[in-house]
Structure 1
Amino acid sequence: MSPGKYNFIFFYLLTFLLFFSCHKKEKTYIETIALNDVQLPKVKPGDWRYSRDEQFQTFEDFQKLNKIRPESGKNTIYLQPIGAFSELQKKEIKLTKEYLSMYFQLETKVLPALPNSVFPKTARRIFKEGQEQILAGYVLDSILLKRKPKDAVAVMGITEKDLFPRPEWNYVFGQASYIDAVGVTSLYRFSNGDLSESNFNESLERLIKISSHEIGHMFGLSHCLNANCVMNGTNTLTETDFHFARACSLCQQKLNSSILYDHKKRLADLKHFFEKQHLNSELSRAEKDLNLLK
């Protein structure tokens, strides 16, 4: 072989190696936004994680679950208000419907409100602070499940009454069934008293967090131990407020594997919602994620 041919082969191989050494593999959406995940702080007494030994749910664990998925003719999220709501509370529920449609990228509807008379005496108790509480499990099994629309992928009840999960517990912010895809939350504690214009956004942010958290459970997501995330477990409103409305990269990966939405459209929709409602901390987080995609 002539020296010229050797030189040509050497030049070709060198060019080939240089091209692939400089051409890095493009990051996926999940890998990209993982840069904005915020590590969970060290657990302290009173935190949800302090008294619970929960297992880390990997993406592989999630994939093995027999979980609900949207399908043709069964792809709508429904909100079921139960109780007598003020005009501000009705506005809060309407905005939560808008938010959930953006968060899950699924059509979301509000059903006509049911009266408090649907709760029998056996599902009620008077708590030590004087307020009436409703047994959350009764709402799931005897109200929501029995009234679940045929095209519902998930149903989320919203009541103005306080909730309790079982006799030994003081209260619960929300509860959901993985199997039946029904859940419930209560507005009672979110406004720290009567809902007003001054505390509206605080209450709204708590409601969208708990609602998306409980519906996330319906889609098979366990409590998140990966990062600060809407799927973190919560014991108190302080803990709820500390957790982001943003799902971490791992929880987004899980959710998207079932719903198959467009990541960038979802982020843009959420950014618009946060901007419109002046939820500035969440707006900043959505903008940071979008900036990574540019």
Structure 2
Amino acid sequence: MRKWCLFMVLAFLSCKTDGKRDYFSRLSGNDQPLPKTLPGEWLWDHPENGQTFGQFLKSKPIIPTDYKRTIYVSQIGKFNELQTRQIQLLQEYLQIFFQLEVKIGERISSDEIPADCRRIGKEDQEQLLASFVLDSVLVRQKTKDAIAFMGISELDLYPQPSWNYVFGLASYQKQVGVTSIFRLQDELLKKENFDLCLTRLLKVSSHEIGHMFGLHHCIDASCVMNGSNHLPETDKNPTRLCSHCQQKLQYSIGYDNQKRVNELIAFFKQNKLEHESIILNKDLKIKK
């Protein structure tokens, strides 16, 4: 009797897994092929092998618990009214994207970065050493309930002396990440470029937090987890996770796919990001 009950439980779990696999298999029909890589783009300079679902599972990705399931976003530096509005919208978006609570953390002063971890870049802009921000600033700010901690810097970032700049950097092991608004805002954020700059911030931030949940750069399809070397490439990448990356993230967090897609579309429509909502409308037609 016990063996029979155990068999039934395992069969039930297998059906549930197969059902999810079938959903993402059907969802893959909405994936857009990865465009041909051009000189200067990420995969041209950084050939990558990608990440299968099996490899993702072997990496032991973080899984939210009752006590550790909050994403924090903290501003580093001084933000004007329009920039602060974008951070508020980012909070709302990330809460939908990851289906977890997102809180705005305490503001962090750029003065916390010492002189030997900042420099003047090739464009005469001040830059902060991203790895120092991760290891010596954000890690100390991270609270026990934080499953991910994201810093948004006012100033430009560089990952190491040999690099010109970096859009963002994340540590999977420490579950912290940092990105900068400096290059996303066309020198000056205005009402006229607000929507474009917001879309860039949504992409870069969800990409970096995606790394914290164990997602590698995607080479399977056009995806927000595609690597990016420069702003035109970031603009070309979508906000959407491809079906392979959606399967990984949904495995970790366990959210309702249909609910997530509905809420993302509503967010895009409310903020007049019509192109982004059109892309997701096809996903809405795929039922569990």
TM-score (norm 1): 0.89
Q: How does 1:89-104 map to 2 (within 5 A)?
A: 89-104=83-98
CA distance in 2, matches of 1:229, 1:40: 8
| SS of alignment partner, residue 264 of structure 2 | helix
- 1:21-45 deviation per Cα after TM superposition (whole angstroms, max 9, x unaligned): xxxx998321222111000122121
Match of 1:288 among 282, 285, 288: 282
The amino acid across from 2:128 in the alignment is: I
Which residue of structure 1 aligns with residue 71 of structure 2?
A: 77
1:264 matches 2:264: no
> What pairs up with 1:205-216 in 2 under 5 angstroms?
205-216=199-210
Within 2, Cα distance between the matches of 1:120 and 1:222?
A: 31
Could you say which structure has the larger radius of gyration?
1
Answering whether residue 194 of structure 2 is matched by residue 233 of structure 1, we say no
Identify the match of residue 242 of structure 2 among 230, 242, 248: 248
Residue number in structure 2 paired with 1:120:
114
Q: Does 1:86 align with 2:64?
A: no
Q: CA deviation at 1:56?
A: 2.2
**For 1:176, what is the secondary structure of its paired residue?**
strand
Q: Which residue pairs with 1:60 in the alignment?
A: 54
Matched, 1:152 2:174: no
Query: 2:174 is paired with a residue of what secondary structure?
Result: coil
Aligned partner of 1:181 in structure 2 is: 175
2:35 counterpart residue number:
41
- Name the aligned partner's letter for residue 217 of structure 1: H
- The one-character-per-residue Cα deviations of 1:62-101 (angstroms, maximum 9, x if unpaired) are 0110322211210000001110100000000010010000
* Paired residues of 2:217 and 2:226 also in contact (CA < 8 A): yes
Check 1:69–1:194 CA distance in 2 against 1; reply closer, same or farther (3 A cut): same
Once residues 117 and 290 of structure 1 are traced to their aligned partners in structure 2, the CA distance between those partners, rounded to angstroms, is 46
Give the secondary-structure state (helix, strand or coil) at the position aligned to 2:285.
helix
1:106-117 superposed matches below 5 A: 106-117=100-111
Structure 1 runs of 4+ aligned residues shifted over 2 Å read: 25-29, 291-294
Give, in whole Å, the separation in 2 of the partners of 1:29 and 1:86.
43
| Cα gap change, 1:201 to 1:142, in 2 (>3 Å) | same
SS in 2 for 1:103: helix
Q: 1:162 aligns with which of 156, 163, 166?
A: 156
Counterpart CA distance in 2 for 1:34 and 1:73 is 33
The runs of 5 or more residues in structure 1 that have no matched partner are 1-24
Q: Distance in 1 between matches of 2:276 and 2:134?
A: 30
Change (3 A) 1:58 1:121: same
CA RMSD of superposed structures (Å):
1.4
**Alignment length (residue pairs):** 270
Asked if the contact 1:88/1:196 (under 8 Å) is kept, the reply is: yes
Q: Counterparts of 1:168 and 1:104 in 2: how far apart (Å)?
A: 34
1:219-257 deviation per Cα after TM superposition (whole angstroms, max 9, x unaligned): 100000110000000001110011110000000000011
Q: Residues 27, 259 of structure 1: CA spacing in aligned structure 2 closer, same or farther, 3 A cutoff?
A: closer
Q: Is the 8 A contact 2:23 2:286 kept in 1?
A: no
Q: Distance in 1 between matches of 2:156 and 2:20?
A: 49
